[in-house]
């Protein structure tokens, strides 16, 4: 017995009432819905076959659809389904959550509500896997051309044109928001494509209406409107690029994405409307199938919180990582001079870290109250990292969160260009990043350990006592022994802090540009009189270039110091392990023990320092790269291709990943 036959609706309609068109359509969708390993595409193919050989079934299903379209308006379905709401993220999240608990009542005047009733939320999974070509065959098999002058088709065409007018007006209104004009004043000074597309869309709908009324094919096409819509897209991209340098609010980022969605919908409606005016049946079926798939998916996901939050998290990530990515470009050295500059910079940071570690040991035995001790640890880390930045030194673990975002930005840009050439350039950037990272690690460890030992020896010579007692020294070695403690877990926590610090740096860079803080500082008169106009201008310029990095370093210190405090407050075994501080503690411990302990514990602790560093780097780099790639929509297949190219380059020329090129190569010959 075939899956779809004359009696198909009869067995299903007793519960949903035979006269109910929605019930009939719901029964068809229930038969299309895959069960187990069945493919929806095969079920659709079976339905197409039955429709082609069974005129009665074809007429019943077509009549049910036309009945819905003739009794319900479709303007909102065409104009709003799948497009971000005007209300904003929080209000829309609350609406979706509330409608999960208490579903909304059916608005019998809207066809989008009918679509919401016919499909289930879980249908989005199999609908997304059905190619548009299958829907083209199904719509073609329904034989709408046999319906003649059906009222449902006329109502649907009228609603389509009205929806195009609604979308065009919304594009014009959103395209001339003050935030858009701030970033692209040309939109106001010259003829705006947002206004022009609205006028052209209205003209197109009038021409289509006239062609339908006179029953004559449309004389022209929609190409001029499509050109104007493309100019609107270019204006959006121009605003987005300028927002990277001038800063952007989350509202602007949200609005740009929403405006982009409206433009895509306007294109779909314009092409379908023009095909309707030309009476081009093949084009109408093809365009209707694509729009049908888009709208059904949107209605199935109408109240889904997870996809909505994932999309908007990507918006936040994109806004922040674009700024962090620009900061990360300074952490990637390409030539041999830049490589050694990074090594010297890392050596300076290692020198300061040794003093920061010593200060932390002094604070730990000062007998401070718990909250005061935590605050002291936070300030020790924060002020130390800020000092390192001010002196233009580099902490190795600060690099991954920054460089990962720079890499993500480069990968995102390469998606629209020549694949092979840009893939090779990406591998070059990653190789530069890895060898720069190794230089920073070597510099930090190369001076942190001997400086710590020197400090401990000077204390021993001047006071006659060890800087750390034998018991404390054993405790320090135990803390960085990966087999005897939770050092790697704590190192992963520190890696998360590094990742968050990178996002904070990007956020404050964006905040600085968006609020025009440097320009506002330059307008202050009393500092200029107090410090001198030239000096105050340099201060404003320094804030412009370094506010994000200073904020990231300061908050990174509070993140590191606050983890232990949170653990103490809630009775949790939380702590952090950082490679630079762990290496300095190793140096203090060895002098405290006067190298009198066996080789086993010091060697394991030294290996623990390297393992801690690897964990710091891997966790922070992975999180930052994952967020950066997610924000730019880089697919898994692209990541896999990049990984293969990296492995091939590593096997062919491993030296590139560890040592810089020779001067002649760096200079081009």
What percent of the chain shows pLDDT beyond 90? 28
Check whether 416 has a pLDDT greater than 50.
Answer: no
Higher pLDDT, 315 or 128: 128
Structure confidence at residue 410 (pLDDT): 59
Distance CA 664, CA 337 (A): 12
- Share the mean pLDDT of the chain: 81
Structure confidence at residue 40 (pLDDT): 79
Q: Model confidence at 339, in pLDDT bands (50, 70, 90)?
A: confident
- For 148: left if phi > 0, alpha if psi spans -120 to 50, otherwise beta; the answer is left
Longest dimension (CA), the chain: 106
Q: Model confidence at 585, in pLDDT bands (50, 70, 90)?
A: very high
Contact 307, 285 (CB under 8 A): no
**C-alpha 175: how far from its chain's center?**
23
Contact partners, residue 480, CB within 8 Å, separation at least 6: 487, 577, 582, 585, 586, 605, 608, 609, 612
Tokens 């949107």 correspond to: 298
Helix axes 223-246 and 305-328, enclosed angle (nearest 10): 60
Distance CA 606, CA 207 (A): 79
Check whether 232 has a pLDDT greater than 70.
Answer: yes
Contact partners, residue 237, CB within 8 Å, separation at least 6: none
Q: Which string of DSSP letters, residue by residue, matches 434-501?
A: HHHHHHHHHHHHHHHHHHHHHHHHHHHHHHSS-SS-HHHHHHHHHHT-TTTSSHHHHHHHHHHHHHHH
Q: Model confidence at 113, in pLDDT bands (50, 70, 90)?
A: confident
Structure confidence at residue 227 (pLDDT): 93
Closest CA to 393 of 516, 576, 549, 540: 549
Helix, strand, coil percentages, rounded to 5, for the chain: 80, 0, 20
Higher pLDDT, 667 or 451: 451
User: Within 10 A of 264 (CB to CB), how many other CB atoms are there?
Assistant: 16
Q: Model confidence at 347, in pLDDT bands (50, 70, 90)?
A: very high
Q: Model confidence at 319, in pLDDT bands (50, 70, 90)?
A: low
Mean of the pLDDT values across residues 637-659?
Answer: 78
Contact partners, residue 451, CB within 8 Å, separation at least 6: 350, 351, 354, 355, 584, 587
Distance CA 521, CA 247 (A): 17
Mean of the pLDDT values across residues 314-323?
Answer: 59
Using alpha carbons, list the distances in angstroms from residue 146 to 174, 458, 570, 604. 41, 98, 72, 82
Structure confidence at residue 400 (pLDDT): 58
What dihedral angle (degrees, nearest 10) is formed by the CA atoms of 432, 436, 439, 440?
-170
pLDDT tens, position by position, 609-635: 999 988 988 888 788 777 766 666 665
Identify the bridge partners of residue 110 per DSSP, sorted by sequence position: 73
pLDDT tens, position by position, 185-231: 777 767 789 999 999 999 999 999 998 888 888 877 788 999 999 99
Check whether 412 has a pLDDT greater than 80.
Answer: no
Structure confidence at residue 162 (pLDDT): 95
Higher pLDDT, 13 or 369: 369
Contact 161, 203 (CB under 8 A): no
Distance CA 469, CA 488 (A): 25
Structure confidence at residue 202 (pLDDT): 94
pTM exceeding the 0.85 threshold for the entire prediction: no
Closest CA to 29 of 155, 101, 135: 135
Q: Model confidence at 441, in pLDDT bands (50, 70, 90)?
A: confident
Mean of the pLDDT values across residues 300-305?
Answer: 78
pLDDT tens, position by position, 237-273: 888 877 766 666 667 777 888 899 999 999 999 999 9
Structure confidence at residue 82 (pLDDT): 86
Contact 229, 270 (CB under 8 A): yes
Structure confidence at residue 4 (pLDDT): 45
Distance CA 605, CA 48 (A): 70
Closest CA to 61 of 176, 156, 146, 130: 146
As a three-state string, the secondary structure of 618-659 is HHHHHHHHHHHHHHCCCCHHHHHHHHHHHHHHHHHCHHHHCC
**C-alpha 409: how far from its chain's center?**
11
Mean of the pLDDT values across residues 341-349?
Answer: 89
Using alpha carbons, list the distances in angstroms from residue 37 to 40, 41, 42, 43, 216. 9, 12, 11, 12, 49
Closest CA to 558 of 501, 503, 609: 501
Check whether 349 has a pLDDT greater than 70.
Answer: yes
What percent of the chain shows pLDDT beyond 70? 82
């Amino acid at each position: 017995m075939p899956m779809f036959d004359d009696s198909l609706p009869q067995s299903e309609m007793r519960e949903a009432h035979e006269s109910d068109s929605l019930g009939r359509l719901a029964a068809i969708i229930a038969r299309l819905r895959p069960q187990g390993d069945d493919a929806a595409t095969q079920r659709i193919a079976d339905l197409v076959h039955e429709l082609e050989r069974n005129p009665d079934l074809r007429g019943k299903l077509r009549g049910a659809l036309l009945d819905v379209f003739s009794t319900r308006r479709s303007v909102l379905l065409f104009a709003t389904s799948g497009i971000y709401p005007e209300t904003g993220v929080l209000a829309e999240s609350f609406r979706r959550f509330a409608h999960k608990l208490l579903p909304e009542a059916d608005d019998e005047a809207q066809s989008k509500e009918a679509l919401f009733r016919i499909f289930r939320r879980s249908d989005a999974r199999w609908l997304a896997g059905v190619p548009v070509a299958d829907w083209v065959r199904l719509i073609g098999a329904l034989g709408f051309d046999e319906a003649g002058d059906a009222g449902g088709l006329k109502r649907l065409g009228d609603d389509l044109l009205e929806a195009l007018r609604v979308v065009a007006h919304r594009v014009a209104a959103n395209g001339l928001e003050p935030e858009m004009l701030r970033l692209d004043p040309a939109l106001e000074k010259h003829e705006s494509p947002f206004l022009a597309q609205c006028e052209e869309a209205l003209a197109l709908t009038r021409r289509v209406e006239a062609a339908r009324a006179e029953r004559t094919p449309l004389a022209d096409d929609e190409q001029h409107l499509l050109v104007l819509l493309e100019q609107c897209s270019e204006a959006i991209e121009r605003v987005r690029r300028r927002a990277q340098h001038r800063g952007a609010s989350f509202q602007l980022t949200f609005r740009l994405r929403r405006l982009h969605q409206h433009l895509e919908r306007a294109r779909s409606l314009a092409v379908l409307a023009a095909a309707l005016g030309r009476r081009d049946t093949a084009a109408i079926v093809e365009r209707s199938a694509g729009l049908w798939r888009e709208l059904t998916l949107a209605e199935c996901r109408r109240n889904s919180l997870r996809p909505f939050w994932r999309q908007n998290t990507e918006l936040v990530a994109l806004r922040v990582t674009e700024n962090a990515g620009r900061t990360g470009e300074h952490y990637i050295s390409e030539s041999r001079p830049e490589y050694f500059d990074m090594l010297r910079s890392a050596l300076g940071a290692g020198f300061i870290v040794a003093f920061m570690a010593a200060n932390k040991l002094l604070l730990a035995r000062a007998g401070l109250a718990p909250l005061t001790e935590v605050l002291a640890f936070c300030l020790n880390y924060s002020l130390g990292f800020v000092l390192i930045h001010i002196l233009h030194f580099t902490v190795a673990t600060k690099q991954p969160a920054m460089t990962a975002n720079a890499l993500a930005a480069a990968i995102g840009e390469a998606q629209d260009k020549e694949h092979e050439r840009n893939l090779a350039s990406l591998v070059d950037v990653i190789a530069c990043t890895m060898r720069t990272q190794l230089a920073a690690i070597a510099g930090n460890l190369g001076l942190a350990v001997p400086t710590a030992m020197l400090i401990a020896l000077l204390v021993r010579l001047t006071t006659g006592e060890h800087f750390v007692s034998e018991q404390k020294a054993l405790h320090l070695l135990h803390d960085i022994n990966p087999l005897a403690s939770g050092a790697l877990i704590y190192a992963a926590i520190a890696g998360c802090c590094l990742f968050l610090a990178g996002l904070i740096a990007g956020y404050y860079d964006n905040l600085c540009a968006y609020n025009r803080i440097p320009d506002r500082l330059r307008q202050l008169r009393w500092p200029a009189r107090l410090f001198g106009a030239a000096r105050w201008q340099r201060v404003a310029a320094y804030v412009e270039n370094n506010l994000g990095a200073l904020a990231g370093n300061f908050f990174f210190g509070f993140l590191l110091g606050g983890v232990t405090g949170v653990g103490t407050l809630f009775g949790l075994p939380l702590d952090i392990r950082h490679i630079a501080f762990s290496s300095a503690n190793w140096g203090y411990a060895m002098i405290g023990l006067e190298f009198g302990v066996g080789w086993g514990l010091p060697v394991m602790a030294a290996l623990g320092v390297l393992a801690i560093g690897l964990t710091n780097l891997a966790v922070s780099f992975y999180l930052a790269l994952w967020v950066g790639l997610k924000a730019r929509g880089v697919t898994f297949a692209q990541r896999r291709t990049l990984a293969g190219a990296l492995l091939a380059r590593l096997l062919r020329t491993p030296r590139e990943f560890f040592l810089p090129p020779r001067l002649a190569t760096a200079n081009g010959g």
